[in-house]
Amino acid sequence: MSDAVVELAAVTKDYGRSRILHGVDLQIGPAELAALMGPSGSGKSTLLNLIGLLDRPTAGRVVILGRDTGRMAEADRTRLRGSTIGFVFQFHHLLPSLTAMENVRLPRVIEAGRVRAGMEAAALDLLTQFGLGDRGDARVSELSGGEQQRVAIARALALGPALVLADEPTGNLDTHASDRVFDLMRRINRDLGTAFLIVTHDPRIAERCDRVIELVDGRIRADRRRDTSPRPG
């Protein structure tokens, strides 16, 4: 058995009569920071949904941390998704009725089934690590775009997932904020060993990843690995 965080074997996905993914084989290892590129309509979001257990393949297997998710009941898939996968979206998708701290605390609240003491401190601790320690009480609308995306990443990491799926996390940010958000993901990837699969159109982001997967018309056309480990000296 491989030690891959995600393993896709001959995954096909049809929507009605159109085939979006054609027998995709893909493995993402632990602590890997991979970019998923491709033109619009190439099947990137569909692939992300399948890996994130938000959808089921028409054919093929999706294995998360060694567990074949094909025959899992919906409730088990929901639990596995909550505990092992974090999501970051292009438009932060934070809950506007909650503060920054409450958004970061939310995955823990959902997992525990109730709000418990101690959850607030853990969420604030995470925000502090992301340089947002003083913004815990701020409403989502009071945060800048970069801050919102950092809160969204903190939320995705609240339960210490093995994999973070990021759908164009910097697509809505300027260059400076975009670099800051990517640096943050890189740091988490190296410090915590969390695997990242980042969907991006930005070649600057892609060239800083360990691996670039190119998807065209529902097929993986290229899969390049690069050595991005920090050079000594």
Q: Cα separation of 199 and 170, whole Å?
A: 10
Examine residue 196 and tell whether it contacts other proteins (CB under 8 A): no
192, amino acid identity: L
Examine residue 83 and tell whether it contacts other proteins (CB under 8 A): yes
209 Ramachandran zone, left/alpha/beta (phi>0; psi -120 to 50): beta
Examine residue 75 and tell whether it contacts other proteins (CB under 8 A): yes
Examine residue 58 and tell whether it contacts other proteins (CB under 8 A): no
Q: Cα separation of 62 and 225, whole Å?
A: 22
Let me know: does 181 contact 153? Beta carbons within 8 Å: yes
Figure out which of the listed residues 16, 113, 230, 233 binds other proteins, where binding follows CB under 8 A: 113
In the bound complex, what is the minimum distance in angstroms from residue 48's beta carbon to other proteins? 9
Q: What is the DSSP letter of 135?
A: G
Figure out which of the listed residues 18, 40, 71, 74 binds other proteins, where binding follows CB under 8 A: 74
Q: Cα separation of 74 and 196, whole Å?
A: 24
Let me know: does 103 contact 136? Beta carbons within 8 Å: no
In the bound complex, what is the minimum distance in angstroms from residue 74's beta carbon to other proteins? 7
Candidates 4-12, 103-111, 203-211, 217-225: pick the segment binding other proteins (CB under 8 A).
103-111
Binding site for other proteins (CB under 8 A): 45, 49, 52, 54-55, 74-75, 78-79, 81-83, 87, 89, 93, 95-98, 102, 106-107, 109-115, 155
